[in-house]
Amino acid sequence: RIVYVNGEYLPEEDAKISVFDRGFLFADGVYEVTSVLNGKLVDFDGHAKRLQRSLDELDMPNPVTFEELLEINRELIARNGLEEGGVYLQITRGAADRDFAYPANPKPTIVLFTLVMNISGSPKAETGLKVISIEDQRWGRRDIKTVQLLYPSMGKMMAKAAGADDAWMVEEGVVTEGTSNNAYIVTRDGKIVTRQLSNAILHGITRAAVLRMAEEAQMVVEERPFTIEEAQNAAEAFITSATTFVTPVVEIDGATLGDGAPGPIAKRLREIYMDEARAKAI
Ligand code: PLP
């Protein structure tokens, strides 16, 4: 694989980062994953804007312009012959003497690499996911997409140990989001419910697109918190993220939703999302 590091395209084994990089020592870095369909980027604009917001919230300089970033993404897709999957991007505050305070003149590190994934034909889209609930023990600024992903990794391991696919995190009795996705239910009267935006969750780029498409398709959307009990009694549930698009959830803490098969609203939203993603990818 050819990866991009600070201005250079290199074979992955030749790419090196300092042991003093603050991304490594302090998780002082942010990231994005943009999906790729037919060799083209899905919602690049949304991901680039959220990247800038994450950097701004952390007073971290952006080493690339919007146009440069697009060019790097395209070059990497071309050099790796990527048809379907994603581009992972990470920017850290760079190498500096180890000090909790930020360095006065940071030299950010930027890394991009491609990921091969079958997103459009994922078997989980047909069978649906099983999720468990766990306590949300992450820090309080989940709206910033930092590389501090240890608790979500622990959550994935807890899900695996329980024979499930993922974990939905619960804070003060209500669901925040999945370990790496936004969480939704569909009420028995057909309303799509997902938690409102705040610092408690990541402002998903797929979430924004899917909610807009749901409203355009005359579906009713309610942005409010919901409990695990409400989710277990819902007609349907699903998740969204750049690497899963819309994927149905069919079991929550052992309780089967409906007849245990992916629901019609989740299936329809997945189709609508994929059609638009394909048509608008750049
Ligand atoms: N929530 C969390 C915690 C995530 O890590 C992610 C994606 O990585 C999402 C939600 C979904 O965001 P997006 O749709 O922008 O991929």
| Co-location of 111 and 135 in the same domain | no
Domain with 161, as residue range(s), is: 124-280
Of the three residues 52, 83, 116, the one that is the final residue of a domain is: 116
| pLDDT (mean) for 2-25 | 98
Q: What is the pLDDT of residue 195?
A: 98
Q: What is the pLDDT of residue 17?
A: 97
pLDDT tens-place string over residues 165-174: 999 999 999 9
pLDDT tens-place string over residues 223-254: 999 999 999 999 999 999 999 999 999 999 99
| Co-location of 19 and 133 in the same domain | no
| pLDDT (mean) for 22-27 | 98
| Co-location of 164 and 246 in the same domain | yes
| Co-location of 67 and 112 in the same domain | yes
Q: How many domains does the chain have?
A: 2
| Co-location of 153 and 221 in the same domain | yes
pTM value is 0.98
Torsion from C-alpha of 223, 170, 133, 123, nearest 10 degrees: 40
Closest CA to ligand 1's atom 12: 204
| pLDDT (mean) for 183-187 | 98
Predicted-complex ipTM score: 0.99
Closest CA to ligand 1's atom 3: 180
At 14, list the tokens: 């030749």
| Co-location of 128 and 70 in the same domain | no
Of the three residues 116, 148, 180, the one that is the final residue of a domain is: 116
CA angle, residues 36, 179, 114, in degrees to nearest 5: 25
Of 86, 278, 70, nearest in space to 180 by CA: 86
pLDDT tens-place string over residues 119-141: 999 999 999 999 999 999 999 99
The closest-lying atom of ligand 1 relative to the alpha carbon of residue 179 is 3
At 110, list the tokens: 């930027």
Q: How many other C-beta atoms lie within 10 A of the C-beta of residue 72? A: 18
**H or E segment at 112?**
strand 109-116
Between CA 148 and CA 95 the distance in angstroms is: 17
**In this structure, what CATH number is given to the domain that contains residue 70?**
3.30.470.10
| Co-location of 140 and 28 in the same domain | no
| Co-location of 21 and 93 in the same domain | yes
Of the three residues 93, 116, 139, the one that is the final residue of a domain is: 116
For the annotated catalytic residues, the residue numbers are: 145
| pLDDT (mean) for 255-272 | 97
- How far does the centroid of ligand 1 lie from the alpha carbon of residue 182, in Å? 6
| Co-location of 83 and 163 in the same domain | no
What residues does 11 pair with on adjacent strands?
2
Q: What is the pLDDT of residue 262?
A: 98
- Is the CB of residue 258 less than 8 Å from the CB of residue 278? no
At 55, list the tokens: 């950097």
pLDDT grade for 196, boundaries at 50, 70 and 90? very high
Q: What is the pLDDT of residue 224?
A: 98
Is 46's C-beta closer than 6 angstroms to any atom of ligand 1?
Answer: no
Between CA 168 and CA 23 the distance in angstroms is: 27
Q: What is the pLDDT of residue 129?
A: 98
Percent of the chain with pLDDT over 90: 100
Between CA 107 and CA 221 the distance in angstroms is: 43
pLDDT grade for 281, boundaries at 50, 70 and 90? very high
Q: What is the pLDDT of residue 78?
A: 98
Is 206's C-beta closer than 6 angstroms to any atom of ligand 1?
Answer: yes
Is 34's C-beta closer than 6 angstroms to any atom of ligand 1?
Answer: no
pLDDT tens-place string over residues 88-117: 999 999 999 999 999 999 999 999 999 999
Between CA 93 and CA 26 the distance in angstroms is: 10
| Co-location of 34 and 17 in the same domain | yes
| Co-location of 50 and 135 in the same domain | no
Non-local CB neighbours of 59 within 8 Å, separated by 6+ positions = 102
With 0-12 CB in 10 A as exposed, 13-18 as middle and 19+ as buried, what is 5?
middle
Q: Which long-range contacts (CB under 8 A, 24 or more apart) does 180-184 make?
A: 180/152, 180/241, 180/243, 181/239, 181/240, 181/241, 181/244, 181/247, 182/206, 182/207, 182/239, 182/240, 182/241, 183/231, 183/237, 183/239, 183/249, 184/237, 184/238, 184/239, 184/240
pLDDT grade for 60, boundaries at 50, 70 and 90? very high
**In this structure, what CATH number is given to the domain that contains residue 147?**
3.20.10.10
| Co-location of 160 and 265 in the same domain | yes
